[in-house]
Amino acid sequence: MTEILATHVREAHERIRGHVHRTPVLTSTRINELSGAEVFFKCENFQKTGAFKARGAANAVLSLSEAEAARGVATHSSGNHAAALSWAARLRGIRSTVVMPRTASRVKIASVERYGGTIIYCEPNHRAREEAADKVVRETGATLIHPFNDRRVIAGQGTAALELLEDVPGLDAVVCPVGGGGLLAGTAVIARAASPSTRVLAGEPEGAADASASLASGVRHPVETPASVADGLLAYVGDLTFPVIQAQVERIATVSDAEILEAVRLLFGVLKIVVEPSGAVGYAAVAGGGLGVAGKRVGVILSGGNVDLERVLGL
Amino acid sequence: MTEILATHVREAHERIRGHVHRTPVLTSTRINELSGAEVFFKCENFQKTGAFKARGAANAVLSLSEAEAARGVATHSSGNHAAALSWAARLRGIRSTVVMPRTASRVKIASVERYGGTIIYCEPNHRAREEAADKVVRETGATLIHPFNDRRVIAGQGTAALELLEDVPGLDAVVCPVGGGGLLAGTAVIARAASPSTRVLAGEPEGAADASASLASGVRHPVETPASVADGLLAYVGDLTFPVIQAQVERIATVSDAEILEAVRLLFGVLKIVVEPSGAVGYAAVAGGGLGVAGKRVGVILSGGNVDLERVLGL
């Protein structure tokens, strides 16, 4: 297995920097008072397509050879990666096909359509998704771009932390959410190299806590029926991402749905930004106290902002 | 009357820059498509206290002599200036007294209290407000810091445009909301000096369109009973701010409450940020087409983010 190196993250950054936003870092005195840490928010909710997923998708698509690119790309996703891949494919002027469960939200479907992606609907289960995606790959020769278990995607996701560590030197810790582990693995790889004294930490929903359980036991194992308001973090940590996490991530704290929604409300009311529940899990973990970062300088990646707040907050 | 000069804005920036956020400038391809202009959003909704008002208040308070400062500051306001002045006074370690109508919102009251301001309640009319404020000044020797009709405040508000023009060179136009005119006058003064080819434009609510009517007629005159969802823009343009606006602002477009709320929703859904109705009026004017900026590079100041969105949007 080829190792994922910091140099891959730096190369990814050179490749995608003209196409993605260098998102701002926001701070708030009041949030520092409330959380007991000095927090620097890397706002990937402002990223192209509304989430950090644009980074990994752009790196993967721009890494393809001309011959590969000519055959297009495909993926299966009901979330932010679907829109990000369609966006990245349009950037390069190539075809993208996204397999989505027929139950996917209208907002997500509209987003893929806006970027010109072709949608293939399937039954809402894992097997139907994979079979449909395999069929697309077999019939069209498209390259499958997995949402997280892909070296090019992992390297691309690491560019968010690369920018954060450049913009805020001397962070004691960097914190992000973990689902399949692409963002966390990319973050860990670049942080270890660029800022060795910075601890790499994560937050994970209680109802989908496979990564923290796997980290604790040393063996990767799934949660039977993951469920959380953080619907972007239900994936099972990957066989490419887990070894990186195991080697380089110090701690993963779990947070309840109530804590996640409280974080969304606070970021909305105090920081004046829209963050989706999955995107707020890193901050929820800091606020929850389980990461041991009191009094520290902490970079928190807010990973996405694609949400109907009226639905989530019950407003 | 002493003229307000660009040099006053530059001095204000030196004075306050260590205390306020240099707020980020956000862009969105989709908003450019929707509005037909290339828009650069200066996010003063992320400013200290949640609005640009922190700039003018900080400049005024930090400009006081030691003797003046020792006697404290006072104002009458039911809006963002009240919290901003209390915040600025705490910064300098001096006393602030804010006269507020007994009908002021709980959120606004809580905000002044958080910063340590003393609140004096009065009847909700202009005369009661002024009398109560005059009484405070008479009895304590406090310096009255008017929300907009004050040279130090106007110079401070101009620092937002100063940063925007530095961060985005070559803007064809800069647009902000107008209520009493402090932000617009400060913006006009610095834009004319720092970037003479940049047009200075504004948006104003239809229901409080005294500034646009005064600009058209050449004579300052109030609206009888101003009313708008943009509750921060109901003030009558000042006798200090109006001459500056008259001399240096090219056009003020009026927008309906429906257009303002649509702008708030769009900024929320696409830009992923929380902007109060008053803060979105500049963008509503751009989107409405009344400013003649199609195809142009336009800086838009989003002036504040202090809002209960559930109330305003009827979510």
DSSP secondary structure, chain A, as one string: -PPP-HHHHHHHHHHHTTTS----EE--HHHHHHHSSEEEEEEGGGSGGGBTHHHHHHHHHHHS-HHHHHT-EEEE-SSHHHHHHHHHHHHHT--EEEEEETT--HHHHHHHHHTTPEEEEE-SSHHHHHHHHHHHHHHH-PEE--SSSSHHHHHHHHHHHHHHHHHSTT-SEEEEE-SSSHHHHHHHHHHHHH-TTSEEEEEEEGGGTHHHHHHHHSS----SS---S-TTS-SPPPTTHHHHHHHH--EEEEE-HHHHHHHHHHHHHTS-B---GGGGHHHHHHHHTTT--TTSEEEEEE-B----HHHHTT-
Residue with tokens 């910064």: B91
Cα separations (Å) of A84 from A16, A19, A69, A159?
13, 12, 16, 15
Same domain for A177 and A241, yes or no, is: yes
Q: pLDDT class for A166, splitting at 50, 70, 90?
A: very high
Query: Is A48 annotated as catalytic?
Result: no
Are A192 and A274 part of one and the same domain? yes
Residue B124 placed within a domain = yes
Rounded Cα–Cα distance for residues A28 and B9 (Å): 25
pLDDT at A315: 43
Are A226 and A265 members of one domain?
yes
| A313: pLDDT strictly greater than 80 | no
Whether residue A249 sits in one domain with residue A104: no
Q: What is the pLDDT of residue B315?
A: 43
If pLDDT is split at 50, 70 and 90, which confidence band does B107 have? confident
Nearest to B305 among A272, A310, A313 (CB): A272
> A129 and A247 in one domain?
no
A315: nearest CB among B48, B274, B310: B310
Q: Which of A144, A166, A198 delimits the end of a domain? A: A144
B161 and B15 in a common domain? yes
What is the pLDDT averaged over residues A103-132? 90
Helix (H) or strand (E) segment spanning residue B205: strand B199-205
Query: Which ipTM did the prediction report?
Result: 0.90
| Partner residue facing A50 (CB), from B272, B305, B310 | B272
Same-domain status, B157 and B289: yes
Question: Tell me: the pLDDT tens digits for A5-39?
Answer: 999 999 999 999 999 999 999 999 999 999 999 99
Closest-CA residue of A relative to B310 is: A315
**Among B104-113, B137-146, B268-277, where is mean pLDDT lowest?**
B104-113
Flag whether A277 is in a domain.
yes
Mean of the per-residue pLDDT values of chain A: 94
| Same domain flag for B200 and B67 | no
Do residues B236 and B279 share a domain? Answer: yes
Residue A1 within a domain: no
Count the domains in chain B. Answer: 2
Around Cβ B54, how many Cβ atoms within 10 Å? 28
Residue B310 confidence class, pLDDT cut points 50, 70, 90? low
Backbone angles phi, psi at A120, to 5 degrees: -115, 120
Q: Could you report the per-residue pLDDT of A194-211, keeping only the tens digit for each?
A: 999 999 999 999 999 999
> Both B64 and B28 in a single domain?
no
Q: Is B73 inside a domain boundary?
A: yes
Say whether B275 and A272 touch across the interface (CB within 8 A): yes
How high is the pLDDT of residue A103? 85
Token couple for A170: 């001397």
Closest Cα of chain A to B80: distance in Å? 14
pLDDT tens figures, B206-227: 999 999 999 999 999 999 899 9
pLDDT of B309 strictly over 50: yes
B1: in domain: no
The CA distance from B306 to B82, in Å, is: 13
For residue A256, being part of any structural domain is answered with yes
Residue range A142-148: mean pLDDT, rounded: 97
Give B272's DSSP letter: -
Among A296, A12, A81, smallest CA distance to A172 is for A296
For the segment B5-41, what is each residue's pLDDT rounded down to a tens digit? 999 999 999 999 999 999 999 999 999 999 999 999 9
Boundary (domain end) residue, out of B144, B172, B196: B144
| Structural domain range at position A270 | 6-51+150-312
Q: With cut-offs at 50, 70 and 90, classify the pLDDT of residue A78.
A: confident
With a CB cutoff of 8 Å and minimum separation 6, the contacts of B305 are A272, B45, B46, B50, B51, B273, B274, B275, B276, B279
Using the beta-carbon criterion (under 8 Å), do A24 and B26 form an inter-chain contact? yes
Cβ distance of B24 and A24 shorter than 8 Å: yes
Select from A298, A259, A314, A271 the least CA-distant residue to A36: A298
A312 pLDDT tier (thresholds 50, 70, 90): low
Helix (H, G, I), strand (E, B) or coil at B119: strand
Q: Which of A144, A172, A203 is the last residue of a domain?
A: A144
Among A123, A199, A128, which Cα is nearest to A161's? A199
Chain B residue numbers with beta carbons less than 8 Å from the beta carbon of A268 are 274, 309
Q: Which residues of B touch A314 (CB under 8 A)?
A: none
Contacts of A91 in chain B (CB under 8 A): none
Q: Phi/psi of residue B19, each to 5°?
A: -115, -20
Using the predicted structure, report yes or no on whether residue A77 has a pLDDT greater than 90: no
Length of chain A: 315
Domain identity same for B39 and B65? no
Q: Which of B78, B86, B278, B303 is catalytic?
A: B303
Give this prediction's pTM: 0.94
Question: In the predicted model, is pLDDT for residue B47 greater than 70?
Answer: yes
Q: Is the pLDDT of residue A310 over 80?
A: no
Confidence of residue B201 (pLDDT cuts 50, 70, 90): very high
B137 with B170, same domain?
Answer: no
CATH of the domain at A69: 3.40.50.1100
